A and B are shown apart, each in its own frame.
Chain A
Amino acid sequence: MTNRLLTVAFLAGLAVIFIQLLSGYAPDTDLNLTASYYANQTAPDLGAQNIVTGIIVTYRGLDTLGEVTVLFLTAAIVALVLVHGRALEAERGPKPFPAGELLQTGSRLLAPMILLLGIYVFVNGHLTPGGGFQGGAIVASAVLLLLLTDPMRRFSHRLISRIESTAGLLFVAIGLLGLLFAGGFLDARFLPQGWFGALFSAGAIPLIYSLIGLKVGAEFSSMLLSLSETEDEK
């Protein structure tokens, strides 16, 4: 097939670029300018143990704000795209797709625990690996579990979207608080730094990361809901 051959030929061109990048690459032996600033300053400036978290929530907080916005956008668009289906399904009533009773009971027990785990992950984001995104994903998986075992279970879309929006608004508001009371937009230092390594430390970082976690969790859930509930136009 000429088409396939052509694709391979041009991908080979791309491979040449990649090989050049690979052969020209040598790992740094010392941290570069930016990285060493973070290594030295994250602890004294922000009081966060997890430097990646420090970067994500403050130094590159704008990226993160953009990132949760991406999810917000996607959730909104997915809901928008599939909105017709939902109205239809509401008319048709519940579909017979029962899960086993064991599974249902099990998941009802399991779901709150997963939820709790998720919250633990994002609250501790500034101390240990993990944080808002991972925690949010875990929260969403609890929702997913409930969805799988009892597909007809009505999740309140309004509740989810309220959580999503409130978290988002608070994120922006905290950013502006940083502008007013600290060094600039998204500066987390308007709250006290606390003890290094304690749960309530690192200024507003845990707060922000929790909001991110809530928001991400809500957004993932919303996406899953939209995709699972949709019914195509007929």
Chain B
Amino acid sequence: MVMPNIILIIATGLGAAFLLGLLREEKRLSAYLITLAALAFMSLISGLWLIAFAGGAAPIEVTTAGTPAPFAINFKMGLAEAALLLLINLTALLSAIYMQQTMLRLGRRIMAVFLIAVMAVSGIILTRDVFNLFVFLELVVIASGGLVLMSTDKRALGAGFKYLMVSEFITVFLLIGIIFAYHASGSLNIDTMAASDMLAKQGGALAFFLILIALIAELKPFPANGWALDIYESAHPGFSALFSAVFATGALFAVDKVLLMGGTTWLPLATGIGLLTFVASNIMGLAQHNDRRLLGYSSIAQVGLVLAIIGQREVLGDSYLFVAGGILLAHAVAKAGLFWMSGMFEARDLKDWTVLRQKPLMVGIFITFIAMLTGLPPFPGFYAKWELVHGLIAHNQFWLVAVILFGALIEVTYLMRWFGYVIKRDAPRYTEDTPFHKELVVVLAAAAGWVLAYVWGELSAYRNLLSLAEGNLLVVLPLMFALLFFMIDGLPARIKNIIAIAGMVAYFIASYSSYDPLQLIFGSIILLGGAVIMLASFHAEGRRTGFYPSAMLMYAGLALLIIAENSFAFFAAWEMLTIGSYFLILRGKASEPHALSYIIFSLGGAFAILTGFALAAHGQAPFEIASLADVREDVAPYVFILLAVGFMTKTAAIGLHIWLPGAHAEAETDVSPMVSGVLLKAGLFGLFTLLMTMGRQHLGPVDLTLVLLWIGALTALLGNLMAAFQEDAKRLLAYSSIGQMGYALFGLALMNKLGWLMALLFVINHYIYKSMLFLSVGGVAKRTGTRAMYKMGGLIALMPLSFIAVMIGIIAMSGVPPLSGYGGRWVFYNAIMSAEHRLPMILIFLSGPIGFLYLFRLVHTIFLGQLKDEHRRLKEAPFWIILPQMIYVLFLLGFAVVPGLALRRVDAYLTRFFPNEFGLDWTGPAITSEYGYWAPVSIMIVIGVIFCLVLGWMLFLNRNAQKVKQFNIVYSAERPYRPETTHYAWNFYAPYRKALGFMVQPFVTNFWNGIATALHNLGDFSRRLYTGNGQTYAFQMLIFVVMAYLVSRGMI
């Protein structure tokens, strides 16, 4: 096949621009069509070459003037160049389509300017001549100066002028640099200069510095970037898309090219400037309310990150292009898409994006872009993030990783906060009428994002998350199943619910045989347990837009997590379940801030896991999860700490727990049990895996499992304590989950067989009674319209089934015989007896009775006591919410009688890890341990008999009692200021609070809030650097260059 000459890209752009000048001013439509045709043709050429290079074609070199390279300007094109050219020209084409009205209004001149701008960026990518680079750069600057004026915002004028001022400075540095570099090397050709001894000469190194710093200045480095933010805020969104996605890409590539001349000496400077910009811009982004300015900060930050990566290209080696390209392309597509979206409505506050909710498709696209920017699977940034952290850690760049992850977390914060606004804030009444072509462009951008996701998956050395071509269908299906729900989201909720339940059950049946006992327990809870909870979802009517994709994404992640064979699959699954659950939690009425803190903590935890894996991999990524056992001794404790912290974020161990109560309590009725009963198990599964493989680890003299033991005990104690002081029933249950997870962690950290068995029992029990309690309390809350317990009371007669469920749940949970909780307790005490640490055990013992306190409060204040006047006509909770509760009741009874059903096999499985320890004897109806035996059936009978006797005796005593009508009591005439404070259920445990309240002071919450406020204030304060005065901006550019010079003096 004859490939078109790449000069044609330049010639087409220029020729078309000149041609437009020949047209009459009135022929605007023809001019517009010529523009589009030229851009399409330029994209076509780039696309053809990209295909050729992807097929393995060798890079080509094109000379001009019929003269060989160093003497005339030459172009070079390889895979990277072709990909970027395609990005540039396609983005430009879409932007031109997007700006149809503006372009037709302003006429042929603006179209010519647009074409020249795109041509010039293509030239920056292609040229190998440093002065030619300057010419193209100037073209871009001048064209930007014109394109900025497309905006209807009058302020754009000032922004454009500031840009021109700053570019004058850049020009001075660049030209001086170029001429001295020419003098030192005798050439203007980048490759010839790179091969020369230029840097060895005094002037040569300095000249190189000036060239480099001038090009970096085009990347809007902190602090010399105020002008760019002003442009982002005021320019036409179609231009901002170009400015962010295309121009920055060109400048980045120029820096990459020029760095060739500098060898390795200058790479740290690029990394330093890039990182500073990344972190500073993100912090300042925290304080932004204007959407376009926020996107500007984010753009600058992302470009800074890529610059930092360019500086690490020696370290990253082969994966450099994969990493830098992944982040850059994802950023470009997403940022262009978001800028285009911002032009679909007038209002400019972040909260005004709620208007998107009028079109679910747009919400889906919005989250696609946000996910691309934050590097979530399956988008390129995810693969790039993985590679980046592994590459850096393999070369011991720990600080770099820490700073990058810190910056990324801040970016996640403001992007997810924004997403929260879109989903949760009040939608405006008016409707925006978006022209079709604008929507089309946005949709195409999102589609491009998914294509990129697929391509990056193919390019990655690991599994392509979006590909069906994978040997094991069981690994592929979950995500595909979840994605299916994105397509069928328009169906009625009930139909989707049937499909979801059927899918989960079918998947469980298919996987059943391949599970080991541990996986079986977790798998049953996730898939079967999840399906039971979903029965309650039949209650919902309508479409329930967004619920099923989110829920299925979470379940897909969970299902994949437990079968993950290597670190990559594990991490990918972890991120998937995190995103899915985040969307689920966000659905709650008042859940916006809680969902935000959930996602921040979760992604922070995920970063810890990623770093832990990278540290453990030691250049061998991905590795089998099982080989965590073979991690080198010098890094093992750190791997252990990082992974444990990551997993404990999910189990909400004390200190990392503040996201949980709000997230679980504010979630929808059927979501609370999902995120509590099922999702928390992901963290436990991680901890299980960690302890199974790595076992005991010591950091210096400290036994890390002992630390976990303490954390577990403290979490149990404080979680229970805080639960006891809640007024909100769902919050009470949420805090109780924290405590329960503390128990499980404690059991695991005991590092003996019984401890693990106890933890497993908690896995099962906690799922059952927490799901049950959340459902029944949720049903009550639905009927009463409140979750405050002091507003309830006496519901026993009206909602008997809910009462039974709560009662059974409480009996099971508090470890009172005869239900399974007692079995848990029994194993638990056996486990404790066999462990050697007595002090944390006291804490655990202490938390037992406290646990009973909050459970008692729950049943007492909701169902017993006096019925409220306004509740007299209440009905039982809806059928579909009751149904799963009754299933749980039956199961609890069954499990109480034959606990061995599941545990026996697990016990045998655990023997593998503790071969020398005495386990439990499962033969016969009683279970025997070293310390005694547990005979479930006998206990059941004994308790039953006692209960009947006591009940009979009480009935006998009360045989003469007189019935009193409930509402005939006359209260005092005085009406208290806050009526609820007089209710007995208010501040139920006031005496205990007096004694123990100091322990539930929100120290941890205050700590994290303090950090958040400090960062926010820092951002708000430091953004005042950008005074808006063009002269100040120019001066900042001067300061930047001089400071960079001082910093780099060692290199010159």
Contact = CB atoms under 8 A, between A and B. Distances in A.
Q: Do A and B share a direct contact in the complex (Cβ within 8 angstroms)?
A: yes
Interface of A: 6-7, 10-11, 13-14, 16-18, 20-21, 23-25, 28, 32-35, 37-38, 41, 45, 58-63, 65-67, 69-70, 72-74, 76-77, 79-81, 158, 161-162, 164-166, 168-169, 171-173, 175-176, 178-179, 182-189
Interface stretch (B60-68, B735-743, B749-757): B60-68
15 contacts: A13-B1045, A17-B1045, A21-B207, A24-B202, A33-B186, A63-B131, A76-B21, A76-B113, A77-B109, A80-B113, A165-B19, A173-B15, A178-B65, A185-B64, A187-B64
A24 B113 contact: no
Given A13-B1042, A21-B176, A77-B113, A186 B146 contact: no
Contacts of A178: 65-66
B22 interface: yes
Interface residues of B, number: 66
A73 B73 contact: no
B138 interface: yes
A168 B21 contact: yes
Contacts of B228: none
Nearest to A62: B73
Contacts of B183: 25, 28
Contact of A65 (B14, B22, B63): B14
A14 B1038 contact: yes
For the complex of A and B, the 4 pairs showing the least CB-CB separation, nearest first, are A183-B66, A165-B21, A32-B186, A168-B18
A217 to B, nearest CB: 15
A152 B382 CA distance: 64
Nearest to A11: B1038
B1042 A179 contact: no
Given A61-B73, A184-B63, 11 more contacts: A7-B1038, A10-B1038, A10-B1039, A34-B70, A58-B65, A62-B135, A63-B73, A69-B17, A69-B120, A77-B142, A183-B65
A21 B181 CA distance: 11
A58 B66 CA distance: 9
Contacts of B186: 32-35
A66 B123 contact: yes
A7 B169 CA distance: 14
A28 to B, nearest CB: 7
B65 A61 contact: yes
Contacts of A13: 1042, 1045-1046
Nearest to B110: A80
Interface of B: 5, 7, 10-11, 14-15, 17-22, 24, 62-67, 70-73, 106-107, 109-110, 112-113, 116, 120, 123, 127, 129, 131-132, 135-136, 138-139, 142-143, 145-146, 149, 176, 180, 182-183, 186-188, 192, 201-203, 206-207, 210, 1035, 1038-1039, 1041-1042, 1045-1046
Contact of A72 (B18, B110, B131): B18
Given A10-B1039, A73-B143, A183-B65, A62 B15 contact: no
B65 A187 contact: yes
B103 to A, nearest CB: 12
Contacts of A77: 109, 113, 142, 145-146, 149
Contacts of A173: 15
B65 A169 contact: no
Contacts of A168: 14, 17-18, 21
Contact of B131 (A7, A10, A60, A183): A60
Given A80-B149, A183-B65, A187-B65, A17 B18 contact: no
B63 A24 contact: no
B64 A61 contact: yes
Nearest to B14: A172
Contacts of B207: 21
Contact of A165 (B18, B143, B149, B182): B18
A5 to B, nearest CB: 12
| Most chain A beta-carbon contacts within 10 A, residue among B22, B127, B149 | B22
| Most chain B beta-carbon contacts within 10 A, residue among A23, A66, A175, A179 | A66
A73 B18 contact: no
A69 B139 contact: yes
Nearest to B24: A158
Nearest to B203: A24
A61 B143 CA distance: 21
Given A73-B139, A80-B106, A178-B65, A169 B22 contact: yes
Contact of A60 (B73, B143, B146): B73
Contacts, number: 192
A114 B290 CA distance: 55
Given A70-B139, A80-B106, A162-B21, A21 B65 contact: no
Contact of B188 (A21, A34, A161, A188): A34
Contacts of B19: 165, 169
B198 to A, nearest CB: 12
A157 B210 CA distance: 42
A76 B131 contact: no
A161 B135 CA distance: 23
Contacts of B14: 65, 69, 168, 172
Nearest to B65: A58
A222 to B, nearest CB: 10
A169 B67 CA distance: 23
B146 A184 contact: no
A16 B1046 CA distance: 10
A171 B5 CA distance: 18
A63 B132 contact: yes
Contacts of B107: 80
Nearest to B202: A24
B71 A66 contact: no
Nearest to A12: B1042
B109 A80 contact: yes
Contacts of B136: 66
Contacts of B131: 60, 63
A7 B1035 contact: yes
Nearest to A182: B66
Contacts of B1038: 7, 10-11, 14
B130 to A, nearest CB: 11
A34 B130 CA distance: 14
Contacts of B63: 183-184
Contacts of B1041: 14
Nearest to A170: B18
B72 A60 contact: yes
A189 B66 contact: yes
Given A33-B186, A168-B21, A169-B19, A45 B67 contact: yes
A168 B234 CA distance: 33
B119 to A, nearest CB: 8
Contact of B142 (A73, A158, A162, A175): A73
A24 B64 CA distance: 34
Nearest to A77: B146
Contacts of A73: 112-113, 116, 139, 142-143, 146
Nearest to A215: B18
Contacts of B70: 33-34
Contacts of A67: 135
Nearest to A34: B187
A213 to B, nearest CB: 16
Contact of B67 (A20, A166, A183): A183
A182 B127 CA distance: 21
Contacts of A66: 120, 123, 132, 135-136, 138-139
Contacts of A25: 180, 183, 203
Contacts of A60: 72-73, 131-132
Nearest to B1043: A13
A172 B15 contact: yes
B206 A17 contact: yes
A189 to B, nearest CB: 6
Contacts of A169: 15, 18-19, 22
Contacts of B135: 62-63, 66-67, 70
Contacts of A21: 176, 180, 203, 206-207
A186 B22 contact: no
